[in-house]
Amino acid sequence: RRFPGRTHLKLGIARLEYSYGPAADEIASSGTLGYDLTYRVVPKFDYKEASQSSNGELSALMQRNITGAIERLEQTGARAIVGDCGFMMSFQSFAREVCSTTVFMSPLVQWPTVASAYAADDKFLVITGNEQMFRPQFQVLSRGCGIDLNEN
């Protein structure tokens, strides 16, 4: 929904390097959210690279590519930057270092804020497309967000 005469904030989306036709409700679809979006693909940063780097270590090339994508998003006027894949959680610390605006590389970094509205013994359901590839992210969530994921 647009409001005449008001400046709209722009959200920058750092994208994995892959090509597919996004569903209408995915962040990769420009019609998903009700405000301006700008996208930047991180060169050479694909699903495999993101999912296998749960320790957050990046090669010099990947550091340059992620930094470049973030800088370009900021140059377009993005007031906040998000990643388009939950596996980007591993790179939250790096992105925070190079980004001069708000950055959430994965929606999972918002988990502690959401969880604070619930009782300590409440349970949450995490849905992922690949549990085996998501399991290494458990350590990242524990280390970066204080989240303990277990099957109980």
pLDDT digits (tens, 9 = 90+) for 25-42: 555 555 555 678 888 999
Round the average pLDDT of the chain to a whole number and report it: 78
Residue 74: its pLDDT value, please?
Answer: 95
Q: What is the dihedral of CA 58, 59, 64, 68, to 10 degrees?
A: -40
Give the three-class secondary structure for 145: helix
For residues 32 and 25, the answer to whether their CB atoms sit within 8 Å is yes
Say if residue 150's pLDDT is above 80.
no
Say if residue 151's pLDDT is above 70.
no
Q: How far is CA 37 from CA 11, 29, 97, 104, 127, in A?
A: 5, 9, 22, 15, 25
Integer Cα distance of 9 and 47 in angstroms: 28
Q: Where are the beta strands (DSSP E) in 1-152?
A: 10-15, 36-41, 78-83, 102-104
Burial class (CB in 10 A: 0-12, 13-18, 19+), 34: exposed
The values of phi and psi at residue 140, to 5°, are -65, -45
Say if residue 64's pLDDT is above 80.
yes
Give 97's pLDDT tier (boundaries 50, 70, 90): very high
Say if residue 70's pLDDT is above 90.
yes
Say if residue 68's pLDDT is above 80.
yes
